[in-house]
């Protein structure tokens, strides 16, 4: 599955989104939760710095960014106290299917077409980017994503072009060995962009 490209996310977050929709896409990208966990989220599940998720693998507490927390809190104010669920539609809490439909509609509005757009795309993007980040703890990633089997988490760690590019730029003998490092310039950002471009091309052919 393809991840969202930076340009696609820029288009999406640049839309004049409602407080609900902005909170939704922010949460999906921040912690990569499942659509069902998103639909089950209640007001009491959101606490400073954390969210309590309930889904097919049980209940777990995961960290959330300050931006995500503030947007969820702002959403609480706009929806009032008539419903306990965080994400509401015209007829009440959004269902699993409702979350999927909303994400597809928002992506279409952002001009992200010709590819799969779903909550799971956000989940895959979160896992891939998190795994590629310097200092990523695979066990923490497993806990956040709620994988019962660590082998599922390893899919994000192994053969990750972003992770390989960053590790290579840090560990190549051309940079590590003083004799070989003279006169060599390293631009990690360019290497990562090239890795992402190659990966996108491969995914298009799958």
Question: Mean pLDDT, consecutive 10-residue segments, the chain of 206 residues?
Answer: 91 96 97 96 95 92 96 87 87 95 97 92 93 85 91 80 76 71 56 61 50
Strand pairing report for 58-63 and 50-55: antiparallel
- pLDDT the model gives residue 180: 65
Domain boundaries in the chain?
A: 6-130, 160-206
- pLDDT the model gives residue 183: 56
For the residues of 33-101, what is the DSSP string, one character each?
--HHHHHH-BGGGEETTEEEEEETTEEEEEE--HHHHHHHHHHHHHHTTS-SBSSEETTEE--HHHHHH
Distance CA 58, CA 174 (A): 47
- pLDDT the model gives residue 56: 84
* Long-range CB contacts for residues 55-62, cutoff 8 Å, separation at least 24: 55/146, 57/146, 57/147, 57/148, 60/143, 60/146, 62/31, 62/33, 62/143, 62/144
CATH topology assigned to domain 6-130: hpI Integrase; Chain A (1.10.443)
Task: Report residue 198 as tokens.
Answer: 């190659």
Strand pairing report for 46-47 and 50-55: antiparallel
Strand pairing report for 58-63 and 88-89: unpaired
Distance CA 87, CA 116 (A): 22
Distance CA 203, CA 109 (A): 24
Task: Report residue 93 as tokens.
Answer: 């809490």
pTM here is: 0.79
- pLDDT the model gives residue 44: 94
**Among positive and negative, which fits the CA dihedral 117, 20, 67, 141?**
negative
């Amino acid at each position: 599955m393809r991840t969202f490209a930076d340009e696609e996310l820029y288009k999406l977050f640049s839309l004049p989104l409602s407080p609900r929709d902005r909170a939704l896409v922010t949460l999906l990208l921040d912690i990569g939760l499942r659509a069902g966990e998103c639909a089950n989220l209640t007001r009491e599940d959101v606490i400073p710095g954390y969210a309590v998720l309930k889904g097919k693998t049980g209940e777990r507490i995961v960290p959330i960014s300050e931006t995500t927390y503030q947007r969820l809190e702002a959403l609480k104010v706009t929806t009032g106290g008539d419903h306990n669920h965080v994400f509401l539609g015209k007829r009440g809490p959004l269902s699993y299917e409702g979350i999927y439909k909303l994400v597809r509609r928002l992506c279409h509005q952002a001009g992200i077409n010709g590819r799969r757009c779903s909550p799971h795309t956000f989940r895959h993007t979160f896992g891939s980017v998190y795994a590629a980040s310097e200092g990523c703890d695979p066990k923490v990633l497993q806990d956040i994503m709620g994988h019962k089997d660590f082998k599922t988490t390893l899919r994000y760690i192994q053969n990750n072009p972003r992770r390989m590019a960053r590790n290579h730029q840090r560990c190549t003998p051309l940079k590590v060995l003083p004799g070989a490092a003279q006169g060599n310039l390293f631009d990690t950002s360019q290497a990562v962009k090239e890795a992402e471009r190659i990966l996108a091309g491969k995914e298009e052919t799958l």
